[in-house]
C-alpha cells in the first residue's frame, strides 16, 4: 500500500511541477499565480516524500527510482514526438 500511495504522490508531484513551470512561464498575469501555486504544491509534496520517517525502506526507494525513471523517460519521449510534429 505504501508503494501505491507514494507512486501517486510522485506522479502528482511531477505533474504539479511541470504544469506550474509551464503556467508560470507562459501564462497571462492572472494565471501565473495559479502556476506559482502549483509549484508550491509540487514542492510541498516533494518535501513530504523526502522526509526521513515517511518512507524509509530501501526497496521502496529502489522502486521509486524505477518509477521516476519511467515517468521521465515517457515525458522525454512525448517532448521529442511533439518537437518532431511541430518541426514538420
Residue-wise pLDDT for 56-86, tens only, equals: 777 777 777 888 888 888 889 988 998 888 8
> What confidence category does residue 40 fall into, taking pLDDT thresholds of 50, 70 and 90?
very high
The number of helix segments (H) and strand segments (E) in the chain equals 3, 0
pLDDT tier at 1, thresholds 50, 70, 90: low
**Which pTM value belongs to this model?**
0.64
Q: Cell numbers 511541477 label which residue?
A: 17
Q: Is the separation of the CB atoms in 20 and 42 below 8 Å? A: yes
pLDDT confidence bin for 33, thresholds 50/70/90: confident
CB 62 within 8 A of CB 56: no
Amino acid at each position: 500500500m505504501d508503494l501505491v500511495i507514494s507512486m501517486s504522490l510522485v506522479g502528482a508531484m511531477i505533474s504539479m511541477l511541470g504544469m506550474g513551470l509551464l503556467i508560470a512561464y507562459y501564462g497571462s498575469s492572472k494565471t501565473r499565480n495559479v502556476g506559482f501555486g502549483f509549484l508550491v504544491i509540487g514542492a510541498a509534496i516533494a518535501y513530504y516524500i523526502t522526509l526521513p520517517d515517511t518512507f524509509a525502506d530501501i526497496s521502496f526507494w529502489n522502486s521509486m527510482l524505477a518509477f521516476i525513471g519511467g515517468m521521465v523517460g515517457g515525458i522525454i519521449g512525448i517532448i521529442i514526438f511533439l518537437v518532431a510534429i511541430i518541426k514538420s
